[in-house]
Chains A and B, each alone.
Chain A
């Protein structure tokens, strides 16, 4: 039976949330830290740090070899994390949850084990113009290898997918649609259910890159009916080096293993190997057990705060930031979609984003400057780079005020 989502409707207690993140309690260059680089990676709550410390202090052992107590505890913790991820994503079965290093590895796994065997010369893969390099390059390499074609669905000047153009790209030769849920550079929230439905109407499977969506949007892979969904733990308050690939059971069962070795086999002789059942088939070698434990703790934490409360709080800060930033002379927002989550990319007339980044850093404000691993998107908007402020549940209107004050200083220096 499926557990009912326990999103708490109550407003987010921002003081309590901020208090949960030890990294926020520091000064940088003599100023209290304002951390606005969350689309790159999020800070970690004490609950996640404690879970990892507890695991290594008490339970550390290898998993799935349970003849002794510690191994049983480690296995239990690891599999509980899987159950946790299943609930977080809304998956129907824990065997549909494969632990990977992150979204990148999840995409590469699907490329190698699901798409490669069914991709012939002249076939097509459809992506969008707002993809992260991690959802471009694996498909590009695969298309080169197979003589297949990569089709790119265009976006408009606001940074929204042009749905009709996307639909026209879906042909009898399309073998996969691979698209992000939320753009890491523009913040656009794609109409992902509609995108999936249009593909499914033509029997085309869909992989969703959810790396940027997971911290901001309540997920329900069964309602979306996506074939694959990938997330990176570190963007959702968990450690680096751990993430989740969700895949429909029927797909995962039919797919050959991605990597091979220990832990993923049923029996091995020198003549022949039979592979283990799901999810072990896709988890060769000793996994990142502590990472999975941290990921489970992060999902618990997000659930405790409540995704509905997080969404409401973040959209308030986003709306406030959008208004305040546009008051700054010479500032242009890149990415003005009607539905956005957590990201404010911008350029300032006459100031390179790196110079913005350096001056903001000296004001204690962490942002990202660069192409954000979306070079084709930079070309689309005709800019070499942008500065990007990206939000998490712990950011406030005061953070945005600090950002705007510092940006006015940048304008003064360079005017």
Chain B
């Protein structure tokens, strides 16, 4: 593989794409939101269980490419135990990492493992795959009912 392809398909991404974590239906979730990119067919349902403003559990189901599946998988690992406001900050930072947009005011958020997605920015056609789960999370936290799309 050429180096930028290796940046895109890092081991962590391939691993989470093959064996997504928290890939299940959450019974009686506090939030349940769908993300769907009809042009490519990436589709997921994100489930959250909240305790006050703390995310206690996160899970997802669906089908999609390695990038969107790994992104959803890592999202569920990342946001558990976070306050919803913190999760929103991570969403903004993640979005900025991929699109080069301004992260906004305030102290920089550490993305930790999510930094593996930094290579996706070099593949404009694939940014929507990585950001779909995060936009779905954002909508879930805002209690929006309609399916989310990043196309």
A-B Cβ contacts below 8 A, count: 52
| Closest CB in chain A relative to B145 CB, distance in Å | 23
- CB of A362 within 8 A of CB of B5, answer yes
The answer to whether A354 and B40 touch across the interface, beta carbons within 8 angstroms, is yes
Q: Knowing A354-B65, A358-B123, say if A369 contacts B14 (CB, 8 Å).
A: no
Give the residues in chain A near B69, CB-CB below 8 Å.
352
CA A354 – CA B126 in complex, angstroms?
A: 9
How far, in Å, is A164 (CB) from chain B's closest CB?
32
The reply to whether the CB of B43 lies closer than 8 angstroms to some CB of chain A is: yes
Complex CA distance for A370 and B63, rounded to whole angstroms: 13
Q: Tell yes or no: B41 within 8 A of A by CB.
A: yes
Q: Mark A14-43, 1 if CB is under 8 A from B, else 0.
A: 000000000000000100000000000000
Given contacts A350-B18, A358-B8, contact A414 B66 (CB under 8 A): yes
Asked whether, in the complex, the Cβ of A370 is within 8 Å of the Cβ of B14, the reply is no
The contact size tier of chain A is 10 to 19
Q: How far is the CA of A188 from the CA of B150 in the complex (A)?
A: 33
- Determine the interface band of chain B, counting residues with CB < 8 A from chain A: 20 to 34
Known: A354-B65, A355-B65. A384 touches B41 (CB 8 A): yes
**B29, chain A: closest CB distance, angstroms:** 24
B27 beta carbon closer than 8 Å to chain A: no
Cα A378 to Cα B39 in complex, Å, equals: 13
Within 8 A of A (CB), among B47-64: 63-64
Q: Is B134 an interface residue (CB 8 A)?
A: no
A358 touches B125 (CB 8 A): yes
Question: Which residues of A line the B interface, CB within 8 A?
Answer: 29, 350-355, 358-359, 362, 369-371, 378, 384-385, 409, 413-414
Besides A350-B18, A413-B14, 16 more A-B contacts (Cβ < 8 Å) are A29-B2, A352-B64, A353-B65, A354-B67, A355-B65, A362-B2, A362-B4, A369-B40, A371-B41, A384-B43, A384-B63, A385-B40, A409-B1, A414-B17, A414-B18, A414-B66
